[in-house]
Structure 1
């Protein structure tokens, strides 16, 4: 297997894809569980789905282990399905970047992220996975988009444990960060060649951000976008802009000291960026609380926003960066246009000296939008046209049909690999 140094430091841009793996198995009144593997029939079609990755020339696939299925009860483990999938990765030679927590906890974990033993439980799950699959997987994402986790589960009250407001945000952020650290340290203890791809969402704020009524909130949100990553990398000390918010909501000096003493770092810092959704606009005299209930308007800043975020994360954390999710939801022509312009932008920023090591089209095939959770409509009514392969409903299930975006993606992946081969 290619080592850490060879893979991330070989000087080229690696192309890959991802399979949407959001899991929120808990349901309450007016809610349905979200299990993207079930909604897209990946549990049945995994064998062919992984082959689709290879068919478009992707070197890697961001893919998640469904913790709620692997651990159906406390201390109970069922790896049978995951064993077969991981063996298929090895058979195809596609490199998995394993999402360990892409939203959601097992059903048996009361209070979810706020359970006092959540960090211990998630670290045990992750460490067992690393021990079991060390012959196939070396790249691990401890938590995907931790700040979206914190917002949805801690501030907006959308997902369990349904926290609300600043206190909920702080509580979930601190718990996620503790589990993040314990996960990474646990894997490192059992897998010497493990690499850690940290992944967070781009949260940009523009518009009238200096208007008196918005200045403080806009600055807080801009810093808050990095809160969990700053905690796990030991950057939240007395002088951190969010330290007063944390200490004011129960995160004591001793806990901040623990993060400083146990800091972990990314081998690669992943940036998720969607041009039509990642930039929120403040309007003078207009107040929005954010989230689905009261969203701010968004602005498409295209590749300018993408390059800004890549530079920002590279400078802030001093690690190579990669685009870990990007696409537009739209027609094949719209998706191709974004693919072409975003790849060109990544090549330009690489030429300027920023160490961008990967580009991920997300997802490989269409996904079911999270709005499904609070709807009564069938899953395909919530299909997002995002993929290199379209989800098509047929009498035999959800077929994956290659669309023109796949050919353009494959062309970029092949060119990148041939260019590297000429240099060897």
Structure 2
């Protein structure tokens, strides 16, 4: 004779229709779909406004992508497009070179307008304070006074906009130093290891001191470091010292930033090229304040294959964002974010978007905390196919929207992604960390 089922008594007390499984035993179930909301535990889906402003032609020409992409004239429309996409987070760079007009003197005319509108629209900025350039009066990244001047600027920004919590003090420190002082393309346009090390230590120190100033005004600040996730693969047996060093140097900015001792050969490289023991010890004394996030920017062109004959070719997705970022996570053990990606072919962009997203899902399955994803940028860019080295005016069709503010195919793909995944939490069960009077909702593990 079969044993009585407990459901007989459950049904008798509660009624079959009113009770299904654990309805009264926990949070109401939800799958995490729907456009993003402002819940603090939710994954951050973002885009960005391209805002690079290095100088070229030995300082005579300023490349200002906010101007060249018409953002100064159409900023209200651009912020409206962010809202239209259903996005809540925006990587946004104020034009440092134009705001900090002299020591302790600032022009907030444009910044106040756009920041006030962002606040009104409830868009959360990840505020980028330096993006590949400095004011003319500072000169370039060889200036040892840069860290002090930049820290003053960061303090002024944090004081003026106290509602801002997320910051990228310096965008891509490594790329800034490499393009300006090792490859001779921007700003000081030098081509030496010594100039590179000088730029790297000045810019990293600027980021550290700026973070201290931000934290003084906003102790709970979240610092999203944005670094280029790069790798050169050697397709031959005998590894070259040059490439071995190059693949280690890509970590240098974050090593100095996070007080992580680099390998002995990189330490000797620093000492051979102008870093003093005292400077090194200053960097290694400890990490800067704030909640630190390691943001990795990954473009297919970031990976290259070097052949025996010296030829180098672009090789997208040999490792991809997942494997390269895993190196950074294993090295620094900090939450990660996919802070930039795009392709220059608008027809290929939707496929690239989904590939990056699947990399993120794989990273989450490993238990690595991934805070967010960014399609960079909102609007098509100009001359990034040649690294802004010349003012040609070629439009790079990599934005969610074109220069006329009409959607590219990737906008539809991103909207579909947002509608499916937009309310997932950063980590499974992340909603239990929220203190709220809203009804509880337990989201599935994605």
TM bucket normalised to smaller = 0.7 to 0.9
**2:412 aligned partner:** 407
- Give the secondary structure class of the aligned counterpart of 1:413: helix
User: How many aligned residue pairs are there?
Assistant: 391
Distance 2:94 2:78 in 1: 15
**1:293 aligned partner:** none
Distance 2:119 2:94 in 1: 16
Residue 207 and residue 42 in structure 1: after superposition, are their counterparts in 2 closer, same or farther (change >3 A)? same
1:174 aligns with 2:201: yes
**2:336 aligned partner:** 321
1:247 aligns with 2:247: no
Residue 69 of structure 1: CA displacement? 1.0
**1:35 aligned partner:** 64
- The one-character-per-residue Cα deviations of 1:22-48 (angstroms, maximum 9, x if unpaired) are 01246438x632000110110111111
**2:299 aligned partner:** 274
**2:51 aligned partner:** 21
Match of residue 229, structure 2, among 186, 202, 215: 202
Q: Is the 8 A contact 1:56 1:407 kept in 2?
A: no
**1:308 aligned partner:** 323
Distance 1:64 1:352 in 2: 32
Say what the alpha-carbon RMSD is for the aligned residues: 2.2
- The one-character-per-residue Cα deviations of 1:366-421 (angstroms, maximum 9, x if unpaired) are 011244855464x2xx1101011011xxxxxxx21112321221121232234559
**2:130 aligned partner:** 101
Residue 376 and residue 49 in structure 1: after superposition, are their counterparts in 2 closer, same or farther (change >3 A)? closer
Distance 1:222 1:53 in 2: 36
- Give the secondary structure class of the aligned counterpart of 1:197: strand
Residues 4-403 of structure 1 mapped to structure 2, 5 A cutoff = 10=41, 12-25=42-55, 27-28=57-58, 32-110=61-139, 112-135=140-163, 137-208=164-235, 210-212=237-239, 214=240, 216-236=241-261, 240-264=264-288, 267-275=292-300, 277-286=301-310, 296-301=312-317, 304-332=319-347, 334-370=348-384, 371=386, 373-375=388-390, 377=392, 379=393, 382-391=394-403, 399-403=404-408
| TM-score of the two chains, using structure 1 as the length reference | 0.87
Q: Which has the higher helix share?
A: 1
Q: Is the 8 A contact 1:18 1:364 kept in 2?
A: yes
Distance 2:395 2:257 in 1: 35
**2:16 aligned partner:** none
Distance 1:235 1:204 in 2: 20
Residue 375 and residue 141 in structure 1: after superposition, are their counterparts in 2 closer, same or farther (change >3 A)? closer
- Give the secondary structure class of the aligned counterpart of 1:126: helix
- The one-character-per-residue Cα deviations of 1:288-345 (angstroms, maximum 9, x if unpaired) are xxxxxxxx3211226x41111221121111111010001211033x111111222122
Distance 2:90 2:388 in 1: 26
Q: Is the 8 A contact 2:46 2:373 kept in 1?
A: yes
Structure 2: stretches of 5+ with no match in the other structure: 1-36, 426-439
Residue 209 of structure 1: CA displacement? 5.8
Residue 413 and residue 73 in structure 1: after superposition, are their counterparts in 2 closer, same or farther (change >3 A)? same
Bigger CA drift: 17-26 or 366-375? Answer: 366-375
- The one-character-per-residue Cα deviations of 1:211-232 (angstroms, maximum 9, x if unpaired) are 25x2x11211111001011011
Match of residue 417, structure 1, among 406, 422, 445: 422
Q: Is the 8 A contact 2:99 2:108 kept in 1?
A: yes
Q: Is the 8 A contact 1:273 1:306 kept in 2?
A: yes
Residue 27 and residue 76 in structure 1: after superposition, are their counterparts in 2 closer, same or farther (change >3 A)? farther
Distance 1:7 1:253 in 2: 46
**2:431 aligned partner:** none
Residue 245 of structure 1: CA displacement? 0.6
- The one-character-per-residue Cα deviations of 1:8-67 (angstroms, maximum 9, x if unpaired) are 982x432110111101246438x6320001101101111110111111121211010111
Distance 1:313 1:119 in 2: 25
Distance 2:306 2:56 in 1: 34
